Structure formats: C-alpha cells, structure tokens
Structure 1
C-alpha cells in the first residue's frame, strides 16, 4: 500500500513537472508572462527548453520571414485604374519582440504594416502614367519598399522586400492603347 501511494505521488509529480516546461522551437522567440507579479518580462527567449512555475506562461512568437500578398486597386497619374498584386516579405525583429508585443501586439501586419504598405503603393503608383507601370514595376517596387521601411522603422518590424506581381490594367485602357499608338504612328508619317 505504501509503495502504491509513493508510485501515485511520483507519477503526479512527474506529470505536474512536465506541464512546467515550454520548448521554444527554431524560428520562434518566447516571452515570459508572470500574471501574479510583473506581467510580461522583457527578456527574449531563444530556441531551447525553459522551466516555469505552473501559474506562469511562456508565450511563443513566430519570428521567421513571412510573405503577405495584397491585391490593391490604384489610380495612375493619368487617373486610370490599375489592379496590382504586391508581395511583401517581413518579420518581427527578434531582439525587439518585447517592444513589438507591448506597443502593437503580435498581430503587427493587419494592425500597422498592411495600412502602411497599401498607402505606400497608392502614393508611389499615383506618380506614374498607366502606360509606364509595366516597364517601371521594379522601380515602383523599390520606391514602395523604401517608403514602407521608412514608415515602419520604429515599429520593431523588418521589411525584407516588396515585389510587384500581377499588374492588371483596365480593359478599356488595354483596348485603347493599340489604337492610340496607331494614331501616333500615323501622325509621325
């Protein structure tokens, strides 16, 4: 009977201690949460296993590069509609994770970065005529990236790249371009 009690107690202790460990995987960072005392601790935990009291937590955050795709309707400098598919690569800065979580929250993209990206795209594209958007797409992407990096520099987020994917010009415009080019060629002759 005594051995059975010890065995049950040992199993209970092992199970309780097993719940007091958290593993931070590669590509993640952890922040300790002490609900009874200081709250969120500023120390960023790297990959590894960490012990904690049963009433405390270690919150895990993904710090890998993530790709966000946005389809944006914009107007060119000649007020013609264009639909752009833009891909931005970004991630939280691992060393600044505590400040990101405290100031913005872990869902930084929909709360802050998306708005800045869409505004930058609309602002930059509005300086180009519709006919030059396709040939200047890499230049436009570079300008958008520079604007987004500048806007997010104090937001604890790192921007890897911005690229323009699909570019859809309005059908009415596409039909009129060959006619316009034909008329210009006739005038030159």
Structure 2
C-alpha cells in the first residue's frame, strides 16, 4: 500500500473543514419564505436590514438564519362567546394573516416563531368576545352577521397594529345558537313574515275598495251633471234627429201616423 505524500493529509483535512464550513454557511430560502439573520458575535438578530429573500445565501458559519413563511396564512377558530343577554354563542371564524416582511427581524426578536399563539389567537378571541357581547342572539342570527365580521376585523387589526403582523381579513363562517333560541327566533321571524303578508293584503284590498268607490262616485257625479243639463226641448230635438236618421236608412220603411205625447212621429214598422 502506497503512503500518502506528506502534504496529502493536511490537504484532506483542509478539504473536510472547507466542506463543513460551506455546509454550515450555505442557506437556501424557499419560495414564500424569508430569513432572519442572527449574528452570534455582532448584536444578535439583525433588525436594521431587510430579511434574506428567496434563493441561495452564504453566511458566516457561526451565524444562524431563522426561516419564516411570509405568504398569507389562515387561522381557523371555534370560539364560544356570550351575547348581550348572557347566552352562549359559538362563532366559527377564519383570520387571514402574514408577518410584515420588513419587520421580520423585529417579529423574531420580540415574539419568535410562535407569534400565532402569542398574539394572533388571543387578539381575535378578545375582539370576538367584545363585539358579540354588544348584540342579541336574534341580531347575530339574522341581520348583523356582516356587521360583527367587520367589527371583529377592525378590533383585531387594532390590537395587532404594533405586533409586526398584518391582518388581511376576518371571515365569520357560522354563528351557532342554542337550539331552543334558534327555534324561537325562527318562529318569531315566520310570524313577522305572516304579519307583513296580512298587512299587505289589507292594504291591497283597501286600495281596491277605494278605487271602486272613486269610480262609482265619478259615475254618479257624471249622471247628476247629465240629468241636470237635459231639458224637454233637448230631448225632443235628439228624438227628431234619431227619427230622421232612421228614415234615411235604405234598409228601413217608415210609416208615420200621428204623433206621440212628445210630439215625435210614431214608427209603425220596417223591413
């Protein structure tokens, strides 16, 4: 077996050390992620520089990189809260959030990787309790769902405004009431709907009756005016006009014998 040259062993040692150093120094940041650099011998977490972006990076082997997901993420929460009258309501909500990219170093330094459990969950639960406590179960079940969604979002956003976390949206997926309360509300809503339908029918019938009354009054007024305007002379003239038109008709033969009480000719027959 041939012996290695005297300089061979040191070269191998140097190569091994180089490989270890490169392995410790090489950092790859995947898509949708960013890295926070920690300098062991220089004030620790770097907060005054942008985080390390996607791709390959070389750092000093004694430093560290903490990788964070910076894409939008979702938190799903089932929360039991009390309404304004003390009834327990279950709210199913989702929060869309992501760390503030430029403040990733501050986020790591102040909260760490478990920032979701440290600030986001407590914030949305606190906001949900505060908002739902202002409404009755009936309002939550029917007309106020969109309102509480917006209010929970605004209150949670206010709480998180100084926590280096960006809240994008809060969605209230479901509001679950106790069965007895839900049934009572549904009965009340049905009764209100039936009452509205009945009132509509009454209004419609009243309008129809008013229309008939107005039409009848109009006819009565017209007949009254007409009766007041007709005299014996006018009636006699109209009778003469009608007789002449009938006499001029080629399809009729008129025989005039005497006259009636009104002085009009009497028509005895025609073909």
The 5 Å alignment of 1:8-157 reads: 8-9=12-13, 11-12=15-16, 13-42=18-47, 43=49, 44-135=51-142, 136-157=144-165
Task: Tell me the CA shift for residue 111 of structure 1.
Answer: 0.8
Larger strand fraction of residues: 1
Counterpart secondary structure, 2:134: coil
Larger helix fraction of residues: 2
Distance 1:56 1:185, change over 3 A: closer
Distance 1:80 1:5, change over 3 A: same
Task: Tell me the CA shift for residue 140 of structure 1.
Answer: 1.1
Task: Tell me the CA shift for residue 71 of structure 1.
Answer: 0.6
Counterpart secondary structure, 2:182: helix
Cα separation, 2, equivalents of 1:164 and 1:56: 43
Determine which structure has more spread, i.e. the larger CA radius of gyration: 2
Deviation per residue, 1:52-79 (Å, 9 max, x gap): 2222111111111110011111122232
CA RMSD of aligned residues (A): 2.4
Segments of 5+ residues of structure 1 without an aligned counterpart are none
Segments of 5+ residues of structure 2 without an aligned counterpart are 199-271
TM-score for the superposition, normalised by structure 1: 0.87
CA contact (8 A) 1:138 1:163 kept: no
Distance 1:35 1:173, change over 3 A: same
Q: How many residues were matched structurally?
A: 189
